[in-house]
Copies of this chain bind each other. A is one copy, B any other.
Amino acid sequence: MIYLDNAATTLHKPPQVGPAILSAMETMGNSARGSHGGSLDAAHTIYDCRCKLAALFRCPRPDRVVFTSNVTEALNMALWGLLQDGDHVVATDWDHNSILRPLRHISQERNVGVSFVHADSNGNLLYSDFEDLMQPNTRLIVCTHASNLTGNVLDVARVSEIAHRHGALLVLDAAQTAGSREVDMAAMGVDVLCFTGHKGLMGPQGTGGLCIAPGVEIHPYKVGGTGVQTYRETQPVQLPVALEAGTLNGHGIAGLSAALDYINQVGVGAIHDKEKTLTMRFYQGVRDIPGVRVYGDFSGEHSAIVTLNIRSYDSGAVADALWDEYEIAVRAGAHCAPRMHRALGTVDQGAVRFSFSWFTTEDEIDTAIRAVKALAQE
């Protein structure tokens, strides 16, 4: 299989991830639920992973790294926990249903207004909209760091400056960027960073979380046992337990921690550069094929995604042909990004997304280019 669906999940993981999970399965009790060796082993492993994530994302304190089961849960937690009655929020056409649906539900349950920054037909956000949409009651701007459809990358510092100048927070969805490019909360001015462990961080599924800047308080979302302060009737207020009810995915976190070791060894810069080279190689190989239309803007920062359509062929049929005839795994359809498809005019056709990782090879890229070429000639 040539796996080019890394924006959905990375299939190829660093060699130490599996053994780290296995090792944890043999030694790990329940973190923070006891003081015996098994429990302490779990606590150390989890704390260690918090420290690595804090360092990677420049989150000032490891106790402000909160684990969740995926980035969707992290975004639900951030949005439900920050938005109160009477607030206003600015989101964008880039955003995934992991942002859009929580906002829709919150706006129904609480009196919260939502405005959207639009994207043009190249998928570029109209940055001037951010400024225009800010209101006195705008609590936060939420946006994905890179569109999961086009791969266009947000100018985070620019958006953060607007948010902060208006007294609002910036919640950044790093689902498509964490591990693949520099995500520096401090330098970029990110107040809440939401990440997933199983994509660019190359860890197991069932991991993810939030990094929360000092001074930002998120009201508890999922509540329950924490192993501490049992007699307190409400959720403890200190991080991370304020947002971490129930037993964490210790085994998965052990795998994520091992993946972070690998990333630190290779370097995020090297990963970014390699993925960029692969992405541009594929883009340059397909953009001039007659009948192929590539979406997004490749003149600036771009994630490891190239999305295209071939003539008016249904995107699902193209993906099926790539799989059946070439064993190339890609993603077709709507990608949980409804507003972005509307901006691109691809609601009916969907689009075929090729997404790359550190483990993708140039040979795989070249095979995929030849496959697109062949399908476009049919």
Contact = CB atoms under 8 A, between A and B. Distances in A.
A369 interface: no
B336 A225 contact: yes
A251 interface: yes
Question: What's the interface size class on A, roughly?
Answer: 35 or more
Nearest to A249: B206
A119 to B, nearest CB: 16
A130 interface: no
B35 A319 contact: yes
A5 interface: yes
B18 A33 contact: no
**Counting chain B CB atoms within 10 Å of each CB, which of A34, A204, A227, A246 scores highest?**
A246
Contact of A34 (B5, B230, B337): B5
One complex includes copies of this chain to the number of 2
A51 interface: no
Interface string A242-285: 00011111111001000000000000000000000000000000
A201 interface: no
B5 A73 contact: no
A287 B185 CA distance: 57
Nearest to A342: B231
Interface string A8-46: 110101000110011001111110011111110000000
Interface string A101-121: 110110010000000000000
8 contacts: A1-B37, A3-B38, A5-B38, A8-B30, A8-B39, A13-B25, A35-B316, A76-B222
Given A18-B25, A97-B245, 10 more contacts: A9-B28, A36-B323, A36-B328, A72-B224, A76-B224, A98-B225, A98-B246, A104-B233, A108-B234, A198-B247
